[in-house]
Amino acid sequence: MTLKKRRFLFYFLVIVFAAAGAAIIFYSQGWRLTVKNGEWKIQKTGAIYIETKPAGVVIKIDKKIHKDKSGVIQGGTLISDLLPKKYELEISKNGYLSWQKNIEVKPEFVAEAIGLILIPNEIKSEAVPIRLRGEEFAGWSGNGKFIIKNTEAGIYYLYDLNDPATVFNATLNFKNLKNNGVIENLAFHPFDSNKLIVETKKGLDILDILRLKTENISSSKPIAWTVQNPNVYYVKENYEPESKTKKYNLYSFNLMLKTENVVAELDDRVSSDLPIKLAVSGSRDKIAVLNDSNDLYLFDFTLNNFNKISDGVKDFAFSPDNKKLAFSGANSKIGVYFLKDWTKNIIKKKGEIADLNFNLKDGEEIKKIYWHGNSYHLFVESRDADDSEKIAFVEIDNRPPLNQYDLFTGIADFHYEQRSGALYYIKENSLYFSEIFE
């Protein structure tokens, strides 16, 4: 081989090596050469990260099967080298209902599908050996004790899962202790399940069910109230003789220190129609107030002000992670208000609302909403035209399609116990439980 040919071969190999090396580097960095409509493009790829419960699922992206790599060490599955576009993602497993979502993959971005819970095809439930004397849950202690209300008679009964044979008539015992005192509402004491916070026409009291004695919290009837350890929060009317006007203040009563403090004065927007429901976030830095006109306001302790969240609201609840506030309204409207920036599955800034297009049949209306413990899902209790109720399970990821599943129908009421993951419901005066979320 001549010197000229050797030089040509050398430089040719150098060029090939450099080109191959550059191609490998670009490929490793996610660049891909694609052709679309006869036009060549260089694009960077993205990925989808998936976490499900249970694991061992079948993952399909645009009907192509990908292996589930989740396990003890790796919590989820990362599917990389996906060109930027929208994909149809389907998660399935034998014995479970499938889950679908349209997910957009962007260059250098990992789209998420996490916190997913697959629902069994057949949901098993068991009867609890307790014959109930009412049809509505009025409280749950977290250690097996719960309160049932007989709405027709207005009587509250206390039950204990650990002692099914024992029933405590809270209404009768309180009436005997307080000289014909009538319970209008009640809740468990936040750190003593043998005590109840009781509302009457004369104020708020603590009922000790073991010692059969009472202790007064407030001698004025609260307009609305709630309990968040270690405080009882309530709204009271205050008449100012000089201006001859009524003001409404939000108070807190510390159950440990036995002290009352003014939290805030309700401005005219909130109190123009009296509050009917309060809720305090688990971090105790925000209070949600729903008034009689169905306007929902949020009080921020840091900013010391009220901010209107939405109108036409019927029910609301703070999420367990204290980052979201869900609310329901007329026409099957469900919204999730983000208290902090959120980047899981969907990206929302603080103060934004994700609207969920919850599907109801004609004549159905939402009665209550509850959060699942992972803060990615809601339980929705709805009632149809025949007063029959059902429980649905819906995600807050509002990328289409919205995955919602009917769990139980023909019930009277239900309660989801976050600590155990069990779901309890009342049907024909009997108590049932299911551990599908354990």
Distance between alpha carbon 196 and the CA centroid of its chain, in Å? 26
Residue 10 has pLDDT above 70, yes or no: no
Q: How far apart are CA 149 and CA 135, in angstroms?
A: 6
269 vs 371: which has the higher pLDDT: 371
Contact assessment for residue 321 and residue 298, using Cβ atoms and an 8 Å cutoff: no
10 Å CB burial of residue 35 (0-12, 13-18, 19+) is exposed
- Cis ω for the linkage preceding 401 (within 30 of 0): yes
Per residue in 357-390, pLDDT (tens digit) is 998 888 889 999 999 999 999 999 998 877 789 9
Q: How far apart are CA 204 and CA 213, in angstroms?
A: 14
- Residue given tokens 């039950």 in the structure block: 159
User: Strand 58-61 and strand 64-66: pairing?
Assistant: antiparallel
* Amino acid making up residue 38: G
> What's the confidence (pLDDT) of residue 25?
42
Q: How far apart are CA 105 and CA 102, in angstroms?
A: 10
Q: How far apart are CA 132 and CA 130, in angstroms?
A: 6
Residue 135 has pLDDT above 50, yes or no: yes
10 Å CB burial of residue 374 (0-12, 13-18, 19+) is middle
Of the chain, the percentage scoring pLDDT greater than 70 comes to 89
- Provide the sign of the torsion angle of the four alpha carbons 176, 181, 185, 188, taken in this order: negative
Per residue in 141-167, pLDDT (tens digit) is 988 999 999 999 999 999 999 999 999
* Amino acid making up residue 14: V
Tokens of 104: 């957009």
Per residue in 310-341, pLDDT (tens digit) is 999 999 999 999 999 999 987 778 999 999 99
- Residue given tokens 């909403």 in the structure block: 369
Q: How far apart are CA 238 and CA 222, in angstroms?
A: 11
- Residue given tokens 């990206």 in the structure block: 347
Q: How far apart are CA 288 and CA 318, in angstroms?
A: 9
* Amino acid making up residue 298: L
**SS3 for 112?**
strand
Instruction: State the pTM of this model.
Output: 0.88
* Amino acid making up residue 307: N
Q: How confident is the model at residue 438 (pLDDT cuts 50, 70, 90)?
A: low
> What's the confidence (pLDDT) of residue 26?
43
Q: How confident is the model at residue 275 (pLDDT cuts 50, 70, 90)?
A: confident
